[in-house]
Chains A and B, each alone.
Chain A
């Protein structure tokens, strides 16, 4: 028997989207507390330790603690909020909104091999039963220069998850061995079968005049990748640079901090 809840949903809006999830009595969805837009009556919001997936419920206290610790590292809150329809009848709706302009993408994990790795802040919500954990990049180059890609979020299960992509979404299927170079921030999600590496592009001239595109994420198939045309970091960068007194320069320590901290 599948542990996930069958979820009906509808995505509204053009530039600034939100997703409305329809829950049958007893069904539930998980989402970051800050992403909830509205919920109808009978839906009870409960904050739980962990992510509410069957695997966390089965684990002992230490298992939960480890997983919660992992969520701390990814910058997510320690607790997940579960939105459960506790009524006896009727369908009820809960809606989650995208944090900024972009697209909400439904990700049916059962059709994607049961696992997806996404950018930390890309995850929006999921059917209860999707497990959330961290996907830690162990390759040193990726760790140092991958920016946001250093610590990503792993979604596992066979339910439906919703990803938010800043700007426009580009979905690409890479053939075995096919390579695609992407700005590190523009990578929204990828299948675990995709090889993810950081490549230094260009010589000294690029280094001095090329701006931010010094290091690219090099993605090698097979597998699907999802790209976002407007990552939050790029948007923030422009705003900081435009702000009075903002220089946008970073020190070595600042650079180090940026992949541990928020982006």
Chain B
């Protein structure tokens, strides 16, 4: 044995001690594995590597065993840690270690397969949660993306369904002077639209208006009562209509639909509950600040195109915020806060429009208000 020889610890299993084995030290020399000074006879055991059958073994296959048959035909084995086996084999003659190299390659392959397998298993187990996280994280973008694939016809059909749900129990009408004025203002604002608009008046004191995908617009009589001019109503309608035109409501419904659908998917229970829920939320939809700003700006453009004075959009909200009406206007104000920032932005946008030719809306506003009062009693 040369001085720079690597000596490693291992365990030797023989018929004399098959269960526990005995602690030994070993080194390799040329094409032999040498087990030093065995307890039973004190002599070195020199084994030619070609006669040894290497394998990975032990509970987690983290050890290397070299098996052989003794002269008497008895099974023997010597075991090293994977690291020590590598050291031993590095010292030995390369050609003699070929069986070991082969086994080691197989082990590497097996380990890689195991890792991939465990990875796939883990992925399978966490996939529902992963999907949920992605949905949560990118939900608005996903909804916008999905909305892009919805045709106008589909949107109109969905709108019809949602409208039926949302207005369930509401007193709607499509008659009376006040309704005719509402419809007329709305049609001025939606000329050339791809949507087929339907206008409704709901008899309730609450100051609110909302629009359903596909072009269903509901305005409360409370809105007409609170407005001092047709231009103010036009401003509000111009804004609400843009939530349809820009597909804000559609995206929001898809967003809540996708959300419910993913929960149902994970819980394994799919019901049609979502459509009702999406509809009930509709009268108090709260869009993001960006979408509201977009509706404001596009609404101004629509007013401009229809030659309607735009100031009504600003003044109506300002008036609402200051008014004593409080509770009645709560819904609309909570979804459309009349912040100073918003007013300032709108005023700035109005000033930037230089060639704004306005024509006064040709409606008898006191007559509209009177019609609201009158029709309220007749509708019952």
Q: CB distance A140 to B58 under 8 Å?
A: no
Q: CB distance B57 to A140 under 8 Å?
A: no
CB < 8 Å neighbour of B18 from A111, A112, A174: A174
Query: In whole angstroms, how far apart are the Cα atoms of A99 and B75 in the complex?
Result: 39
Q: CB distance B58 to A176 under 8 Å?
A: no
Set of chain A residues within 8 Å of B255, measured between Cβ atoms: none
Query: In whole angstroms, how far apart are the Cα atoms of A237 and B90 in the complex?
Result: 51
Q: Chain A, 171-201, contact with B by CB distance < 8 Å: what is the 0/1 string?
A: 0011111100000000000111111100000
Query: In whole angstroms, how far apart are the Cα atoms of A113 and B56 in the complex?
Result: 20
Query: In whole angstroms, how far apart are the Cα atoms of A112 and B17 in the complex?
Result: 12
Set of chain A residues within 8 Å of B79, measured between Cβ atoms: 193, 222
Residues of A whose CB lies within 8 Å of any CB of B are: 111-113, 117, 135, 137-140, 143-144, 173-178, 190-196, 220-224, 256
* Total A-B Cβ pairs within 8 A: 88
Q: CB distance A196 to B59 under 8 Å?
A: yes
Known: A138-B114, A176-B65, A177-B77. A220 touches B57 (CB 8 A): yes
Query: Which parts of B72-127 form the interface with A (CB within 8 Å)?
Result: 74-77, 79, 110, 113-114, 117-118, 121, 125
CB < 8 Å neighbour of A143 from B57, B63, B77, B118: B118
Set of chain A residues within 8 Å of B65, measured between Cβ atoms: 176-177, 222
Instruction: Report the minimal beta-carbon distance from A57 to chain B, rounded to whole angstroms.
Output: 26
Known: A144-B121, A222-B13, A222-B19. A177 touches B58 (CB 8 A): no
Q: CB distance A176 to B75 under 8 Å?
A: yes
Q: Chain B, 54-71, contact with A by CB distance < 8 Å: what is the 0/1 string?
A: 011111110101010000
The 9 closest A-B pairs by CB, nearest first: A176-B77, A140-B117, A222-B13, A195-B57, A140-B114, A175-B75, A224-B19, A176-B75, A177-B67
New A-B contacts (4) at CB < 8 Å, excluding given A175-B74, A195-B61: A193-B21, A193-B58, A194-B58, A194-B59
Residue among B13, B53, B125 facing the most chain A CB atoms (10 A cut-off): B13
Known: A140-B117, A176-B65, A178-B75. A112 touches B20 (CB 8 A): yes
Instruction: Report the minimal beta-carbon distance from B227 to chain A, rounded to whole angstroms.
Output: 59
Question: Is there a chain A Cβ closer than 8 Å to B11's Cβ?
Answer: yes
Question: Is there a chain A Cβ closer than 8 Å to B176's Cβ?
Answer: no
Q: CB distance A139 to B19 under 8 Å?
A: no
Q: CB distance A173 to B19 under 8 Å?
A: yes
